[in-house]
Structure 1
Amino acid sequence: MRSFFSSLAARLRRDQRGATAVEYGIMVSLIAVVIIVAVTMLGGTLKDTFTQVQCSVSSGTYAAGADAGKATCTPK
C-alpha cells in the first residue's frame, strides 16, 4: 500500500499539465492590474486633454483646473 502512494506521489510531481494554466492565469491577472492602475492614474489627465480639444474645436476658452479632471471650457 505504501508503494502505491509513493508511486502515485511521484507521478503527480512529474505531471506538469496544470502548471502552465496557473502561470498563464497569474500573468493575465497581473496584466489586468497594470492596466487598471494605468487607466486610473491617467484618467483625469485624459479628461483634461479631451476637454481642451473640445474647447479648441468650439472656439471656447479653456481653463485648467487645480486637480486633474477639473478643467472647464467656457464658450465665447
Structure 2
Amino acid sequence: MHALSNNLYLFVRNLLDREEGQDLVEYALVVALIAFGAITGMGYLATGINTAFSEISSTLTTQVT
C-alpha cells in the first residue's frame, strides 16, 4: 500500500511539474488578445471610414445641386 501511495504521489507531482501545456495556453491567450484588438480596431476604422464617406457624399450632393 505504501508503494502505491508513493507511485500516486510521484505521478501527481510529475503532472504538476510538467510545463509543456503552459506554452500552448500562453500562445492561445496572445492570439485571442490580438484577435480581440483587431476586431475592436476594425470596428472603429469602419465607423471612421463610414463617417468620412458620408461627409464626402453630403458635400458632393450640396455642390452639385
TM-score over 0.5 for the pair: yes
Structure number with the higher strand fraction is 1
Between 1 and 2, higher relative CO (CA 8 Å, sep ≥ 6) is seen in 1
Picking from 31, 35, 40, the partner of 2:34 is 31
Structure 1 unaligned spans of 5+: 52-62, 65-70
Q: Distance in 2 between matches of 1:20 and 1:13?
A: 14
TM-score scaled by length of structure 2:
0.72
Tell me the percent identity: 21
Q: Distance in 1 between matches of 2:51 and 2:43?
A: 14
TM-score scaled by length of structure 1:
0.63
Structure 2 unaligned spans of 5+: none
Displacement over 6 Å in runs of 4+ = none
Q: Which has the larger radius of gyration?
A: 2
